[in-house]
Amino acid sequence: MIADPPPTNQVFHAIEAPTALTVNSGLGKGPKKMKFGNIIADHPARTIYTRGLQKKVNRQACQKATGIVETECLGESIIVVAAEVDPRVRRLAPQPMTFDLNTGEIFPTKSALWEALQGTRYKPWMYTPDFLFELMDGRTVFVEGRHSRWLRSNSDFSRVAAAMEQLGHRLTLVTETMFTRAHHRNLRILRALPNRRLEPSIRKLIETRLPRRISFGQAQRSFGLTREEVYTALLDGLLATDLSLTPFCDRTKLMRVSHEVSHLQVLPL
């Protein structure tokens, strides 16, 4: 969520991206260093659902997040699904913190920012990213989900991305145009797979007996693989397919690969 931007002559000074974020706790409490583990253990910076508020909210469990993740729209929900399937993402935190983009200060919650400003007439430029991802290589990236129609009507949002970059933070924008109907179904199927481990005999069969190219139906009929085993092989990087083309079916084209997982990397990270 964003507030009004500052005047166009506002100048930002770039800083080096920190390994830990310095977060202001609120009035009289001073700043403290927070690493990713502290962030995911805390409450979201902005409350999406309040009892009695007539506002849609989507709730979903995520193995890479703590507790139930609440999102405001289908676009944000599919980002969570894609992140859980994406092997580059170690963990994520929704609504992780609130920025004052005028100063670069970071607060654990939106209310903490307002608490720190009690008794002043200062107007902050508030921004709460939708997600914070920690990647397997240790880097962190903020992720914002927006509909392309909203972006056309709110052209000032590009200034938010520019301000985050100048402050040394990486922000990735994800729109609904990045996901096809097939993406929505296929990613949810892979995400919901209860057992993601292949028996050694099945792994060996796929690695040594499956032809280089094969259809989903042929893998089942000719080699006795179950749908769950094919899905697991896709997650393990033993098989690959284009998740954007069609929902999984007998005609889905599969390719035997060796530890190749780029087909699972749908998000622009």
| pLDDT tens digits along 72-126 | 888 899 999 999 999 999 999 999 999 999 999 999 889 889 999 888 999 999 9
172 and 206 belong to one structural domain: no
Counting the structural domains of the chain, the total is: 2
pLDDT in tens, 34-45: 565 555 555 665
For residue 166, the number of C-alpha atoms closer than 13 Å in the C-beta half-sphere is 14
Which pLDDT value is given to residue 43? 60
50 and 146 belong to one structural domain: yes
**How far is the C-alpha of 1 from the C-alpha of 248, rounded, in Å?**
35
225 and 253 belong to one structural domain: yes
Q: What count of other Cβ atoms lies within 10 Å of the Cβ of residue 174?
A: 23
* 12 within domain boundaries: no
Q: Are strands 68-71 and 89-94 parallel, antiparallel or unpaired?
A: unpaired
Q: What share of the chain is helix, strand, coil (3-state, %, to 5)?
A: 30, 20, 50
25 and 102 belong to one structural domain: yes
**How far is the C-alpha of 44 from the C-alpha of 8, rounded, in Å?**
30
Task: Give the rounded percent of residues in the chain with a pLDDT score beyond 70.
Answer: 80
**How far is the C-alpha of 190 from the C-alpha of 63, rounded, in Å?**
13
159 and 32 belong to one structural domain: yes
Domain boundary at 151, 178, 205, which?
178
94 and 125 belong to one structural domain: yes
Domain boundary at 178, 212, 239, which?
178
Lowest-confidence segment of 27-31, 55-59, 243-247 by average pLDDT: 27-31
* 4 within domain boundaries: no
Mean pLDDT across the stretch 189-215? 94
**CA-based nearest residue to 267, from 3, 84, 38, 8:** 84
79 and 164 belong to one structural domain: yes
**How far is the C-alpha of 150 from the C-alpha of 198, rounded, in Å?**
43
**CATH classification at residue 135:** 3.40.1350.10
* 14 within domain boundaries: no
pLDDT for residue 17 is more than 80: no
With cut-offs at 50, 70 and 90, classify the pLDDT of residue 16: very low
**How far is the C-alpha of 210 from the C-alpha of 221, rounded, in Å?**
12
Domain span at 247: 197-260
115 and 210 belong to one structural domain: no
